[in-house]
Amino acid sequence: MEYIRFDASRASEFVKEYELAALQPAVNAAHATLHGKTGAGADFTGWVDLPLMYDRAEFARVKECAARIREDSDVLIVVGIGGSYLGAKAVIEALCPSFYNIERIAAAKAHAGDRKNGKNRGKGVAVLFAGNSISASYLADLTELIDDLDVSVNVISKSGTTTEPAIAFRVLKAHMEAKYGKAGAAKRIYATTDKARGALRQMATEEGYETFVIPDDVGGRYSVLTPVGLLPVAAAGIDPDKLLAGAGAAHARYIDPDLAKNDCYTYAAARNALLAKGKLIEILVNYEPALHYLTEWWKQLYGESEGKDGKGLFPAGVDFSTDLHSMGQYIQDGRRALFETVLLVDAPIRSLTIAPDAANLDGLNYLAGMDVDYVNKQAAEGTYLAHKDGGVPNLFLHLPALDEYSLGQAIYFFEKACGISGYLLGVNPFNQPGVEAYKKNMFRLLGKPGY
Ligand code: PA5
C-alpha cells in the first residue's frame, strides 16, 4: 500500500524552510489543542480518531443496507446539503467510472422487465443527489427520470431541520409513497441524522425508517467517514473498508507534530505562512474531471472552517486543463494574491495511447505513441513552471493512484490540516455561525412562524 505525499519544496522560493520551521511552536500548540480537546469547538473533534474508533456495529449495518439497496434498487437518491452530501459525492465521482450514472440508468431502463427477477443488480446503483439547491426544475426533472425505476432514498441532515433537503425529501417521500405505498416506501427510505434531536429523527421514528447516527462530536463537513458518506459510497459499489483503512493509515502518519515528519501539518503551516505574506486565495487544482467534487468538498471544508472573524484564506478551485482556458489568464497574470495546491494522481487511472495518422492533418504526430495521461502530466508540469514564473507558489499533493486507500488518506489529510490550520489562524474551525444569516431573511420573506 502506497502513501500520499505532500511536497512544499517547489514553493521554496516563496516560503523558506526556516519560515516553516519558525511555525513549529505554534504547530505544537495547535496539535496539543486539537488532540487535548482544549480549544474552541472541542466538542466537534470526534473526527480526529474516527478512523480507529468508529462504531463497528453501525458500520456493519451500513454495509448490509448498501447491499440491500444494490439488490432492490436501480437508483439511490441522496438528499442532503453541504457536509451532508459533498463527501459522498466527492468519493463517488472520484472512484466510479466517468459515466457511471448514465450507464447504470440506461441499463436499468433498457432492462426494466428483468428487474423483477433480480437481473442487472448487485454491483452498484446509480447515485443521484437532491436537496442541495432549491431548484424546482431539478426536482421536477429528477422525479420524472426515476418514474419507471426502482428507487431508494437516503435523507441526510444532522440538524434534521435544514430547508433545502427538507423540501426535496417532502417531494421524494410523496413520490415513493405513491409508487410503493406508505409501508413499501418506508422500507426504501434510510435516514441519517442526529441520534435524538430534530424533525428528521422524529419523522424517521414515526414512519419506521432504518436510521443511522451522525455522531454528536462530528460536524457536517467532517462527516464523510461516518454513515453520512459511507452508505451512499457503499451503495455505489465502492469499498468503504479500504476508504477507512486509508484514513487509518493517515491517522497514524500525521500524529507526530514535528513538521519534519508530518506532511499534513506542513501543509497547514505553509498555507498560513503564505497567507501572512499576502496570498489571500488558495486554489485547489486538479487535472482529472473525477476530482472536481473533491475540490468542492475541500472548498466547503476550508471555507466554513476558516472564513470567520474577518480572517481566512478564500478557498477556490479549478479543473485543469479545462480552466487553463478560462481562469488560467488570471492565475498567470492577475492580482498576485493567490497560491495553488495541486492534486496529482501519479498512476494513470486509465491508459489511452495516441495513434499515428498517415495524413497528420491535425499536426499531432509528434504525440504519436504517447499516452494521453503522459500528455496531461506534461501540461501539469508546464503549468507549474509558468505559474511559478508568474509569482504563484505551488504546493503539491501526490496521490499514488485514484483508489479508496489513497482517497481515504487524502480525506483525512485535508481534515486534519484544516483543524490545525484553523487553530494556527486563531479561529474556531468547527462552527459556522455565518451560515445562519441568509436563513433568517429567507424565513422572514417566506412567512415562517417566529421570523
Ligand atoms: O458542515 C456543516 O456543518 C454544514 O455544511 C452542514 O453540513 C450543512 O449546513 C447541512 O446541515 P444538516 O446536515 O444539519 O442538514
- Say what the pLDDT of residue 72 is: 94
- Say what the pLDDT of residue 140 is: 98
Q: Is it the case that residue 156 has pLDDT exceeding 60?
A: yes
CA-82 nearest atom, ligand 1:
5
Q: Which residue has the cell 503522459?
A: 374
* Percentage, residues of the chain above pLDDT 90: 95
What are the tens digits of pLDDT across the range 65-74?
Answer: 999 999 999 9
* Percentage, residues of the chain above pLDDT 70: 97
- Say what the pLDDT of residue 110 is: 87
Pocket test for ligand 1, best of 44, 79, 158 (most atoms within 8 A of CB): 158
Catalytic one of 16, 182, 311, 439: 439
- Say what the pLDDT of residue 349 is: 93
Q: Is it the case that residue 121 has pLDDT exceeding 60?
A: no
CA-156 nearest atom, ligand 1:
13
Pocket test for ligand 1, best of 45, 84, 155, 414 (most atoms within 8 A of CB): 84
Instruction: Give the residue whose CA is nearest to atom 5 of ligand 1.
Output: 82
Could you tell me the distance, in angstroms and rounded to a whole number, from the CA of residue 102 to the centre of ligand 1? 28
Burial class (CB in 10 A: 0-12, 13-18, 19+), 313: buried
Among 287, 292, 254, which Cα is nearest to 418's? 254
Catalytic status, residue 304: yes
Band the pLDDT of 113: cuts 50, 70, 90.
Answer: low
Average pLDDT, the chain: 96
- Say what the pLDDT of residue 117 is: 47
- Say what the pLDDT of residue 115 is: 54
Catalytic status, residue 439: yes
Band the pLDDT of 124: cuts 50, 70, 90.
Answer: confident
336-346: average pLDDT = 98
Query: Ligand 1 pocket by C-beta < 6 Å: which residues?
Result: 81-84, 157-159, 162, 165, 219-221, 304, 432, 435
Could you tell me the distance, in angstroms and rounded to a whole number, from the CA of residue 131 to the centre of ligand 1? 12
Q: Is it the case that residue 21 has pLDDT exceeding 50?
A: yes
- Say what the pLDDT of residue 112 is: 67
Contacts of 363 (CB under 8 A, 6+ apart): none
What are the tens digits of pLDDT across the range 393-446?
Answer: 999 999 999 999 999 999 999 999 999 999 999 999 999 999 888 989 999 999
CA-300 nearest atom, ligand 1:
5
Catalytic one of 210, 304, 306, 340: 304
What are the tens digits of pLDDT across the range 194-210?
Answer: 999 999 999 999 999 99
340-354: average pLDDT = 97
- Say what the pLDDT of residue 100 is: 95
Lowest mean pLDDT among 4-18, 112-126, 127-141, 231-245: 112-126
Q: Is it the case that residue 278 has pLDDT exceeding 60?
A: yes
37-58: average pLDDT = 97
Q: Is it the case that residue 120 has pLDDT exceeding 50?
A: no
Lowest mean pLDDT among 18-32, 156-170, 306-320, 431-445: 431-445
246-273: average pLDDT = 98
372-377: average pLDDT = 98
293-305: average pLDDT = 98
